[in-house]
Structures are given as structure tokens and as C-alpha cells.
Amino acid sequence: MPNSPLSSFDDAGMHDALQRVFGFRSFRPNQQEAVTALLDGRDLLAVMPTGGGKSLCYQLPAVMLPGTALVVSPLISLMKDQVDGARANGIRAACLNSALLPDERSSVMRDLLDGALDLLYVAPERFALDHFQELLGRLQISMAVIDEAHCISEWGHDFRPDYLALSAIRDVRPDIPVAAFTATATGNVRQDIAQRLGLRDPVLVRASFDRPNLWYEVRGKESGDSQLVSILKEFPGQAGIVYRTSRKSVNDTAAMLVKRGFRALPYHAGLPDGERQRNQDAFIRDEADIVVATVAFGMGIDKSNVRFVIHADLPRSIESYYQETGRAGRDGGDARCIMLFSTGDIPRVRFFIDAMLDEEERARALSGLSKVVAFGSAAVCRRRMLLEHFGEAYPKENCATCDVCLGTKEVTECTTEAKMLLSAIIRTDSRFGAGHIVDILVGADTQKVRELGHDRLKLYGAGKGHGRIFWRRLLDELLARKVLAKSEGLYPVVYPLEGAVGILKEGEKVEMVRVVEKRQGKTDAKRLSPDGLPADRELFERLRALRKQLADEQGVPPYVVFSDRTLHEMASRKPLTPGEMLEIPGVGQTKLARYAEAFLALIAGAGLP
């Protein structure tokens, strides 16, 4: 039977431990329910979004309960950061994996056998070993935690066969609670996780998928590098990720950014292992501000102070978009998620989808792509669309944190222009690409237009009242609405579909979301400051430099010392005593003892207003 309820851990005891270990006075939503379940010896199935404070849900009870909590995590590259973060809070943590040297492994085993560990992180491959399972049977284990639990389900988006061995956990230790954590899980996946792990009447914690601190924006994608460079200049010295579809585009973009003076590095599966690891470590340790990456980047990183995620190419699905944007703002501070949208990216994504051999998998991927296109071209609240995709209703009329709700976009009727565009395609027998059609409408004097006699068409120059970007966006809008389609191949042509009849002959209206040009101002400045704190920017930068110095001395990532959010609070409140420092969120007893003297001295030396 699982552990009996532990009535000695009351609400006051939990909050005391929360303040003492993590430096927080209150739980985030759903955390207390998960902690209580584990303290009571109950099995737990927790669906919590990235950045929802998942690790605290098992680290806190691991500190409060006797014995060692076993945490199964899929990525060896992430374990050291997880252990460093736990140790920084005074938690006795270690990992066992193939990356350890023999003497390091022996040291961990001694601590484990001596009962000197609160947390032990292992990979699923180690759990599968017979001698390790036999060892678990002899130790005082407080709980088993399965991180990224969707990996055990063939219905999940990241199924891993090595996770199947975890089904034995109930046979190995029938007396302990088992907790399964996942960031995204449908009903089928949740049921599969519970069945495979043998969860017994588990407490289900299904947190909201809403990440209120993330700001969503979709911008029309423009050709060339200037658009991306302009966006990145909005985030000077801040950490962020730029996602690209292909390895070549990752390399090219990273090289371009370096030439423009940005501290950027590439990351993709085609890089040598050593270079890929060095680039990731440089980003984690704030030695590079930007990582340009394929989707291979992300699961192996726990960096909390990512302030922006830019999708410079179309994501493959809403799930992928949600997961990738979820790597921003894990410290709870504001972060921006910007998608550069163009239906011209669809053929590139289709290339990968068409290569899939399994028909069902290909059909799911196509469905996912169509939903991304709908998300990018819609004129309704981005947050509402995301949450509805995951079966969650958003209760507010205006989220105030996306481009649509903020009013940085407006809906413009362009039925007349749509008719002009369709007519230009039809009158040229649907034999040309988007660029040539736009040339006709704006009256471009090109050799191709003259040779084909298209400068004599009645429509030639009829659309010169709008720029090329307007016409390309309108064409993208009609492609997204399936009024137009684009052929496959190296030189795709656009052609009308049945929906064109409704516009040309039946009076159907066409509306397009238009970007309002004015972007800079007080609203944009405020959104970059976590929770709108009136942070002293100069002091914040000095605190950040001290954090980097201390982190380098200890060989840990800077965010392990303090998060950006904690530094913003310090810069705003300017504590001068240990008692005042302890009031800062994220400063627990261990970090107070370890770091307070240096940070208080800097703040005192900075002078007060």
C-alpha cells in the first residue's frame, strides 16, 4: 500500500518550507494541490504547462519527507542544471547518468546509500537496469517522479520506447506514491500514462494552459534580414531563441546576426556534439544572448530568463508552437512570442510532411499545419485560440497581451482589392507566381511584364495605390482562406479555387488583418518589464553582472543564483538588510546565507534616491 496520509504536514508547515527553501510566500496555481497529494502518499498525474513551476511540486515534498525522491528525466543534458538549481536552494540533490566520471558516480552512490540525498535524478535507461531496480528495493525512497510522462504513451507527441520500462515501477516499489508530470497531454495520453504506470486512484491536477506572462504577436513575414534585425533590436542584451525550419537557415541566420553585432550562436542536430554542447552552455551561462535553432533545441534547457521567442518560419503545429514559446518566461516575468507569418512557408513544411511514410501520421501533420495557418491569419485573440485548441475556454473578452487585443492590428475590408487580385490571376490563365501577379497590379516595369504583354492588361497598375507588401499579404490571406492555392515545385504558380466565385460573383466580403504601424511607446516599454515593476535599469544591470560573476565562480548558470524576476525585485525595492532581502521572492534561507552579503553591498554602494 502507498504511504499513509501524513497529517503532521499542515498548511502552515508547507508554507514555512516554501519560504525557507524557495523564498516564496505563496504557491502558484495548482502547486499546493500537487504538493499536498504527495505529502499524503497519493499517486499524482499532473498536467502543467512549461513554466508553471512543475519542479517545485516534487522538490518541496522531497525535502519534507524522509528518504530520497527518485526523479526519472529523459535528458542527461538537463540533469546537471536541475541538480545545480536544487542545490542552490539547499536541497541535497544528485544525478546518476553515463556522463559522470567513475569517482563522481561512486560519490553519488555513497550519498544515496547513506540516506544523504533528498533528490536523485536518473535517466529511464538506468531505471531499466536490473541491478538498479534491485537497489531501489533496499533504499528508503519517498516517491517516484516521472518527468515528461507523455513519453511513455504512444499517443504522445514525443513517444520514447525506453520509457516503457517505467511500467515496472509499481512492481519494484509498490509502497511509494508515483507522480507523473507532463506539459501537454490529451485525454488519451492521460489515460495511457495512468494505465502504463499503474497509478492508483491518482489525484489529477490539470493546470490551465494559459501563460499570462507571455505576449503573443503575429507579424507579416518580409523578405530579407532587416525585419528580424529590427525585431531583435527591441531586446538589447536580453536572452532569446529564434526558431528556423532548416539547418542551413539556422547557420545562415546566426552568421548574419554575428556580422550585425549580435551575440548569436547556431544550434541544430547537424552540428558536431562538442560544438552543439558548447553553444548551448554559452547561452545558458549568458555568454550569448541569442540561439538560432531548429526544433532540436529546447527540451535540454531549463534557462528561466528567456525574454523572447521568435518563430522566423512557420511552426509545424499548434502543439509545437505552444511548447516552443513555452521556453520563454519560465521565471514568471513577461516575455514576448513573435511569429513571422507567410503562407509562402507552407511548401517548406509540406516537404517534411510529405516525406512521412505513415498515412495517419501524415494526415495528423497536415491537420496540424492547417491549424497553424488559421492561427497566423486570424483576427481574433491569440490566447483564446491557443487555449481553445487545448480544450480550455478563456473567460475574458480581451487578454490585453496579444497583438489583436492590444489593438496593434485592425481589420480592413479589401473586397475590391481581392477582386482585382483574382482577376489578374484569371486573366493571365493562372500560369504565374505571386511575385509576377503583384508586379502587374503595382505597374512594375519589368522585362517579363513587357515581353508577355501584361503591361497592356486593363489591370496593369490598377493597384499602385498600395505597396507590394499589402498585395503579398492579401494574397497570403486568400491562400489561408483557401480562395487561392499554390502549386508544388520549384516555381509555384497561384490559381483560384471554388471560393473565388463567392468573392467575384456573389458579393462575399474580404477582410484582412492590418498591422498598425505605430509600435514604440509606453506600452511596449512596460511589457518588457516583468509584472510592470519600476525597475532601476542601471542597478538591474549591475546586479546581473554580479550574478554572472558569482555563477562563473561556482560553475553554474546565472539563473541558478537568482532569476531575472528576483533581480528586478531587488532593483525595485533596494533591500539593505538580510531581513529585507528575505522579503524578495526567490530568496530562501540558503541563498540568503550564500549570496546576500555581496548583493546587499552592491545595492548599498549604488546609493538610494
Query: How far, CA to CA in Å, does 414 sit from each of 114, 265, 278, 407, 417?
Result: 73, 42, 50, 19, 5
- Rounded (5°) CA angle 441-446-451: 100
Q: Per-residue pLDDT averaged across 523-542, rounded?
A: 57
Q: Per-residue pLDDT averaged across 561-584, rounded?
A: 93
Amino acid 607: pLDDT: 53
Amino acid 529: pLDDT: 37
Indicate whether 585 pLDDT > 70: yes
Amino acid 319: pLDDT: 84
Q: At what angle do helices 589-606 and 537-554 cross, to 10 degrees?
A: 130
Q: Which amino acid is at 229?
A: V
Indicate whether 57 pLDDT > 50: yes
**Residue 93 DSSP class:** E
Indicate whether 522 pLDDT > 50: no
Of 477, 476, 494, which is closest to residue 485 (Cα–Cα)? 494
Topology alike, domains 11-206 and 214-405? yes
Indicate whether 609 pLDDT > 70: no
C-alpha 153/C-alpha 156 separation (Å) is: 5
pLDDT band at 490 (very low <50, low <70, confident <90, very high): low
Amino acid 359: pLDDT: 80
pLDDT band at 249 (very low <50, low <70, confident <90, very high): very high
List all residues 6 or more positions away from 122 whose beta carbon is below 8 Å from its beta carbon.
70, 71, 72, 73, 95, 96, 97, 132
Contact 559, 549 (CB under 8 A): no
Amino acid 441: pLDDT: 94
CATH fold of 533-606, please? DNA polymerase; domain 1 (1.10.150)
Q: Which of 465-474, 587-596, 597-606 has the highest mean pLDDT?
A: 587-596
- Rounded (5°) CA angle 188-189-194: 100
Q: Per-residue pLDDT averaged across 504-529, rounded?
A: 58
Of 244, 266, 242, which is closest to residue 255 (Cα–Cα)? 266
Q: How many CA atoms lie within 13 A of 473 on its CB side?
A: 23
* pLDDT tens for each residue of 427-481: 999 999 888 999 999 999 999 999 999 999 999 999 998 888 788 888 877 887 7
Secondary structure of 400-412 in HEC code, one letter for each residue:
CCEHHHHCCEEEE
Indicate whether 296 pLDDT > 70: no
The mean pLDDT value of the chain amounts to: 86
pLDDT band at 409 (very low <50, low <70, confident <90, very high): low
Amino acid 254: pLDDT: 96
pLDDT band at 298 (very low <50, low <70, confident <90, very high): low
- The helix (run of H) or strand (run of E) holding residue 144 is strand 141-146
Q: Which of 103-112, 313-322, 383-392 has the highest mean pLDDT?
A: 103-112
The lowest-confidence range among 5-14, 134-143, 396-405 is: 5-14
Q: Per-residue pLDDT averaged across 79-108, rounded?
A: 90
Q: Per-residue pLDDT averaged across 75-91, rounded?
A: 87
pLDDT band at 588 (very low <50, low <70, confident <90, very high): very high
Indicate whether 520 pLDDT > 50: no
* pLDDT tens for each residue of 161-198: 778 888 889 989 999 999 999 877 677 888 889 999 99
Which residue has 495511457 as its cell numbers? Answer: 192
Contact 513, 377 (CB under 8 A): yes
Query: How far, CA to CA in Å, does 402 sit from each of 236, 254, 369, 407?
Result: 21, 27, 21, 9
Q: Per-residue pLDDT averaged across 520-548, rounded?
A: 63
State the DSSP string of 127-143.
Answer: HTSHHHHHHHTTS-EEE
Indicate whether 51 pLDDT > 80: no
Q: Which amino acid is at 46?
A: A
Question: Who has greater pLDDT, 409 or 487?
Answer: 487
Amino acid 508: pLDDT: 85
Indicate whether 88 pLDDT > 50: yes
Q: Per-residue pLDDT averaged across 331-352, rounded?
A: 84
C-alpha 597/C-alpha 609 separation (Å) is: 21
Indicate whether 519 pLDDT > 70: no
Percentage of the chain with pLDDT > 70?
Answer: 91
Q: Per-residue pLDDT averaged across 496-510, rounded?
A: 86
Contact 137, 86 (CB under 8 A): no
Of 341, 345, 349, which is closest to residue 368 (Cα–Cα)? 349
Contact 316, 355 (CB under 8 A): no
Q: Which of 67-81, 235-249, 515-529 has the highest mean pLDDT?
A: 235-249
| Burial bucket for residue 571 (CB in 10 Å: 0-12, 13-18, 19+) | buried
Bridge-based pairing of strands 141-146 and 68-72 is: parallel
Amino acid 4: pLDDT: 42
Superfamily of domain 214-405 in the CATH hierarchy: P-loop containing nucleotide triphosphate hydrolases (3.40.50.300)
The lowest-confidence range among 130-144, 158-172, 208-222, 559-573 is: 158-172
- Rounded (5°) CA angle 327-329-332: 135
List all residues 6 or more positions away from 128 whose beta carbon is below 8 Å from its beta carbon.
162, 165
Q: What's the predicted TM-score (pTM) here? A: 0.75
Percentage of the chain with pLDDT > 90?
Answer: 48
Contact 280, 267 (CB under 8 A): yes
- The CATH number given to 412-515 is 1.10.10.10
Q: What is the CATH architecture assignment of 11-206?
A: 3-Layer(aba) Sandwich (3.40)
Question: Who has greater pLDDT, 60 or 499?
Answer: 60
Question: Who has greater pLDDT, 516 or 259?
Answer: 259
Q: Which residues pair with 216 in a beta bridge?
A: 337, 402
Amino acid 152: pLDDT: 85
Q: What are phi and psi of 183, to 5 degrees?
A: -85, -35
Indicate whether 532 pLDDT > 50: no
Amino acid 165: pLDDT: 84
Q: Per-residue pLDDT averaged across 561-573, rounded?
A: 91
Structural domain spans, the chain? 11-206, 214-405, 412-515, 533-606
pLDDT band at 151 (very low <50, low <70, confident <90, very high): confident
Amino acid 161: pLDDT: 76
Q: Which of 116-125, 465-474, 491-500 has the highest mean pLDDT?
A: 116-125
C-alpha 477/C-alpha 503 separation (Å) is: 13
pLDDT band at 413 (very low <50, low <70, confident <90, very high): confident
Question: Who has greater pLDDT, 59 or 246?
Answer: 59
Q: Which amino acid is at 234?
A: E
C-alpha 353/C-alpha 366 separation (Å) is: 7
Indicate whether 528 pLDDT > 50: no
pLDDT band at 94 (very low <50, low <70, confident <90, very high): very high
